[in-house]
Structure 1
């Protein structure tokens, strides 16, 4: 890891039982001063350990996403420059270190749980199932960035009694990590559904759970929706394809036992209940807007403009000097011309009221639209066209209402008033030649429609999902300026490992070093 601190297991003591969100900061104890913890407190400490990569934060959006994923998907427009397709070390290092601090928190939770009596283990099992679910959600993201990562042996310094020599973690192959996560989540779906939870334990769980506030039905929807996401990601891999078809079918055909997220009311997210708690009130604003990181991507905005997309005025706004016109930045222009255009303040930008200055903007984990689009893909591949169309159109409708919902929850009014969404506008959009399911000629064109709608829906809000699906499906035909000065002339296929791995985890890193380059594809990227 970056240094031995990253390998340390961090223990966070947070007295949250009965606390309000406004009390987070005063209750967040310095990990270096903690001497004891409990399942409940460690559970919440684990949940907030990676909050800056869930809730929109300055560091993630400005340092990491602005120069990597948001460019690779053309969710944004930017000024071309040499070396722009090589992820920066600051982005890679911080994302990596944050994940392993987060994983170390989980290992400490496992350690505390292991010391319980058998009866207490049974009582507290709900904490372990839900914690593992949250861990696997974010582990998938890191695997999808790098491929093989240290996992099964990582974050174990405290468990190993402080023995550094036993705590340098080996790299797990990504296929093995996916298999482990899918096996566990399938078991969780049945175990949690049939579990009888001690009422007293449930009360504590409701207080400590920052995601679903102790709602078991919502956790079941999270688990099963996450399973579909992982299964869809590996559905074209021969070793996983049969499993993906079988398990997705089991989930979709049996909603009583395997509920999923189907409406925006059921979205799984890390919510802000009071501005200024957990993440600074202006963190998203500076993260997305600084250095013109919120300039609209031309292809994405043009798609919305050309097809009268009802989301247009909720997702974007005209540049301040554009006199109400949505102007886009061509990614193939020279850097000097692009710089001049951006300097005129006429380029369209992401809607500040809906997104970057919305102090209630949630940290999105799973939402209805992405689940519907995954279901549409499954049914299309299964030859069930009517069901595929139903989920495709429901995904679009939920996406439209999702951005309408985000705008309505905002406490900021800087952006122009959006065009009200009407049923007629939605119906007209669904009938548009470039959007209509019925107008598409064959399965390939319909798959491209699904890919486009995922891309439109994810944009800068779910950048990890956006880049993963763009690489997996490869149907958007985006044009990029080629950097002739660098061997990496176009966007990469993966991120390399941080340099700290070569320095501090040398022996294990040597096993993956031959594949540590930007052109190597992730195993599901065919």
Structure 2
């Protein structure tokens, strides 16, 4: 069975596999049940291939995130246990396998597109640009978990005519992948400014695109905002620092040429509109709540309590026996004490109506607050304190609005009715001791802290990458003296299947395959 999930064979027992139900505006034939597909159908199948790692779903949250990133980020509280800093094989393997099934779908799209006439390729160019942007977003996440990964040669079994020996993919270095993504995204950004999509093609694109609904302006903003994320992530690495400074400045100083996400109405996400389709968040509840995966952590709750964060009541619920007091679980307590506190009902939990039981919760890709915090960090490093403060406070405001907007989407009333926040609350929060830009000596820590709160359990992969990159906010973890891995890791191991089925290429990264090797951008 493992061979089914090899990075070059995933989901390709037929010519192509993709969607299984009608998720979109108009129905179309399931590509997994036909021998001929089209660019349009394959594009949607490609988007569909990893949607459960975008939309909040049971397997990702319960099996993958519950015991790894949500804890490493201290986005949640948990009862300490032995071996807790070693990512579990089930989560690592499944996430890896899903990504390479997704890669295989992307290669199939390239194959179908490559067989078109020059005229048809020009007409459908928008599909390939959008697909590449989406592909690079998810590729960055996998690189940021593992480091070097197979990319340029991965997923080509079908393209190689079923030749297994020819299809074992080499590993690309993380630096080379980052370089390619930045080069291509820059070119796509310029191309999107002049692309002409025929009305008939655009109508089909709007039907097949369940990310941005065919909105070309949103694809531009997605492209440029993703460039900001990748550039900032790599900015401390010597090989990327000059490029990051130059290109981020170019993007932020030319909003008409390089527009970015500017408000929550422009967030890049997979929206949920009809619970009778396969695009929904119905399984978020079990994914986050089962086995107490939604317990609040002490660091986040303490910060929010101390500074009267307006997001507190939108993001969390007080424990059932806490008499309205929000308490977070201390990660330094022993297991018995932590277990008793969790069972006692005095620990706060993530707000069920805003998050886990909100069946309309969107699959979040990138949003306005994140873009603003990236801009704030750039301006801070450029010694433009005024612009940095403006971007920072804008990001905080956008984050507050974001969480209240999530509650407005919800079809659940388990949690108490949410009282709307006021401008006075927001102003007081921005002026509070641990939030005020004017009073802080470490402004980078302010940005990092706000980004961490905003990401919470919604964007855990990005949160973990940013915490490692900045080494901020600072967290304390219980030392696991029973294991060689005594603290959270710097990266994830590769799945064991790589050593078995791609052994020759795996040998090139074997020396890096440990939990203590830092990624190239992690220079702290």
Give your verdict on TM over 0.5: yes
Alignment correspondent of 1:487:
484
CA contact (8 A) 1:13 1:37 kept: no
Q: Which residue of structure 2 aligns with residue 427 of structure 1?
A: 427
Alpha-carbon distance in 2 for matches of 1:151, 1:115: 22
1:349/1:129 CA distance change after superposition, 3 Å: same
**Could you tell me how far 1:34 is from its partner in structure 2?**
2.8
Aligned to 2:297: 297
Contact 1:68/1:87 (8 A) holds in 2: yes
Q: What residue in structure 2 maps to residue 174 of structure 1?
A: 174
Deviation at 1:251, TM superposition (A): 0.5
Cα drift, residue 344 of structure 1? 1.1
Match of 1:159 in 2: 159
Unaligned runs of 5+ in 2: none
Q: 2:400 aligned with 1:400, yes or no?
A: yes
Query: Residues 523 and 341 from structure 1, CA distance in 2 versus in 1: closer, same or farther, beyond 3 angstroms?
Result: same
Paired with 1:235 and 1:250, the residues of 2 have a C-alpha distance of: 15
Distance 1:110 1:183 in 2: 19
Q: Shift in Å at residue 22 of structure 1?
A: 8.6
Q: How does 1:220-231 map to 2 (within 5 A)?
A: 220-231=220-231
In structure 2, distance between residues paired with 1:272 and 1:381: 38
Once the two structures are superposed, residues 84-123 of structure 1 have per-residue CA deviations (whole angstroms, 9 ceiling, x without a partner) of 0000000000000000000000000000000000111111
Shift in CA distance, 75/393, structure 1 to aligned 2, threshold 3 Å: same
Paired with 2:196 and 2:227, the residues of 1 have a C-alpha distance of: 23
Q: CA deviation at 1:282?
A: 3.1
Aligned residue pairs: how many? 518
Structure 1 match to 2:108: 108
Q: In structure 2, how many angstroms separate the alpha carbons of the residues matched to 1:249 and 1:121?
A: 33
Mapped to 2, the partners of 1:238 and 1:181 lie a distance apart of 18
Matching residue of 1:389:
389
Distance 1:242 1:35, change over 3 A: same
Residues 255-334 of structure 1: matches in 2 within 5 Å? Answer: 255-279=255-279, 282-334=282-334
What is the match of residue 473 of structure 2? 476
After TM superposition, list the pairs within 5 Å mapping 1:226-245 onto structure 2.
226-245=226-245
2:356 counterpart SS class: coil
Q: CA deviation at 1:319?
A: 1.2
* Equivalent residue number for residue 132 of structure 2: 132
Cα 1:377/1:255, change in 2 over 3 Å: same
Cα distance, 1:5 vs. partner? 4.4
CA deviations on 1:271-301 (whole Å, 9 max, x unpaired) are 1111253256530000000000000011011
Residues in 2 aligned to 1:401 and 1:362: alpha-carbon distance in whole angstroms? 15
SS of 1:469's equivalent in the other structure is helix
Please state whether the residue corresponding to 2:463 is helix, strand or coil.
helix
Q: Is the 8 A contact 1:376 1:392 kept in 2?
A: yes
Tell me if the contact between 2:23 and 2:278 (Cα under 8 Å) persists in the aligned partners.
Answer: no
Say which is worse superposed, 492-501 or 469-478, in terms of deviation: 469-478
Aligned partners of 2:456 and 2:405: how far apart in 1?
16
SS at match of 1:46: helix
- Between the aligned partners of 1:276 and 1:302, the Cα distance in structure 2 is 40
**Is the contact made by 1:72 and 1:467 (CA closer than 8 Å) also made in structure 2?**
yes
RMSD of Structure 2 on Structure 1 (CA): 1.6
Residue of structure 2 aligned with 1:462, choices 453, 459, 463: 459
2:520 to 510, 520, 523: 523
Q: CA deviation at 1:324?
A: 1.4
Question: Is contact 2:285–2:357 with CA below 8 Å preserved after alignment?
Answer: yes
Residue 418 of structure 1 deviates from its aligned partner by 2.5
Correspondence 1:36-47 to 2 at 5 A: 36-47=36-47
Residue aligned with 2:119, SS: helix
Q: How has the CA–CA distance of structure 1 residues 95 and 411 changed in structure 2, closer, same or farther, with 3 Å as cutoff?
A: same
User: Is 1:143 matched up with 2:140?
Assistant: no
Structure 1 residue 87 corresponds to structure 2 residue 87: yes
Q: Deviations over 1:2-45 (max 9, x none)?
A: 425432263136599xx664987xx67373x3311100000000
Residues 184-223 of structure 1 aligned to structure 2 (within 5 Å): 184-223=184-223
Verify the 8 A CA contact 2:220 2:260 in the aligned structure 1. Answer: yes
**1:398-454 CA-partner distances (Å, limit 9, x unpaired):** 00000010011111011012332111111111111110000012xxx0001000000
Distance between the aligned counterparts of 1:22 and 1:382, measured in 2? 45
Does structure 2 conserve the Cα–Cα contact (< 8 Å) formed by 1:228 and 1:374? yes
Q: Does the 8 Å contact 1:13/1:34 carry over to 2?
A: no
Note the C-alpha offset of 1:323.
2.0
SS of the residue aligned with 1:238?
A: coil
Describe the SS at the equivalent of 1:364: strand
Q: Is the 8 A contact 1:296 1:348 kept in 2?
A: yes
Per-residue CA deviation, residues 310-351 of structure 1 (Å, 9 max, x unaligned), is 100000001122221112211111101111111112210000
Distance 1:482 1:512 in 2: 28
More moved, 156-165 vs 1-10: 1-10
TM-score (norm 2): 0.97
* Structure 1 Cα separation of the partners of residues 117 and 24 of structure 2: 32
For 2:279 and 2:296, how far apart are their aligned partners in 1? 25
